[in-house]
Structure 1
Amino acid sequence: MTISQPVSPASSLRLHLDGMSCASCVARVERALAAVPGVSEARVSLTDEAAEIRFAAPATPEALTEAVAKAGYPARQQALTLSVEGMTCASCTGRVERVLRAQPGVISASANLATRRAQVVLWEGAATAQALAAAVTRAGFAASAEAGAPDRRAEGSGASEPATPGSPRR
């Protein structure tokens, strides 16, 4: 299940966007974001390729992601893997997932009891693996960023990963 917690009204978020090339693109993204229930203001910067969004009421990450994608400018996403120790049952994995989904910018989270890992998809730059691990640790589990597994862009985010020597391009 990948339903995320709504973004709180007292907060703001920054989305990094791909594909904008002119002032018309900026206006289109601003209109798309302003139409999302809960958004009070959306300021888009062509130079930064980013949108700063403020909220008057809760809004879901899915609604924001869908709005900019429908406008033709997908939000950049990244995927992280955390090691999580201390999960003993399905209730534990559910708690880890809820804690992760409650973090600003998290689009989806899935914990796996057998592998003792949590996979997180979030907006690029919204949080670090260390910050997400700290949130899980505060919930009573020993969590850490996977060693040797750097942050990477999520599949389907509209951006390609650079090829490394000896590895195939995706």
Structure 2
Amino acid sequence: MRAFRVYLPSGMHYWTVLDDELRLFEPADRFLRELRLAQGRAESTTKAYAHALVLFLVWCATTGRDWRTAVQDMGLLVLWLRWTPGRGGQHRVVVPGPGSKPVREDRRINKVLTAIRMFLIHAVNNKEVRLVPVRFLTDAAGRGVRNVLPGAHAPGAGAPALLP
């Protein structure tokens, strides 16, 4: 997986995600293209989000998870982000020693999680994903549930929300 800059005939640019065979990863491309072209977000936003999604998708592939259901294990992703060297690392096992410095600080991890959250909200709204824990799609105050899951009952924190 890698982030890739797309040049459009109009002169605009946006970033997308390519798989290891250099094919578009369609769900991410739809999300990033919509951010840039329909929502008017900056190219730098699509670049940051594309790189964040690459981390998420590499983690999914490395750990044998499907991206549509991997949200259930986001705590493990945070651990992986904190201790695995860049580009997924050459080592598949994460073994931080006492006093080790994290590879990514909390600020960077939060930016990655924000991009993943926005991607999954887009996937839910476009019916590419059916089951997502509400706690991941909302902030601490619970905002966002109505926008993310129209018509769905918002179960208690941590419970999955099933779309109709």
Task: Give the number of the structure whose residues are more often strand, by fraction.
Answer: 1
Task: Give the number of the structure whose residues are more often helix, by fraction.
Answer: 2
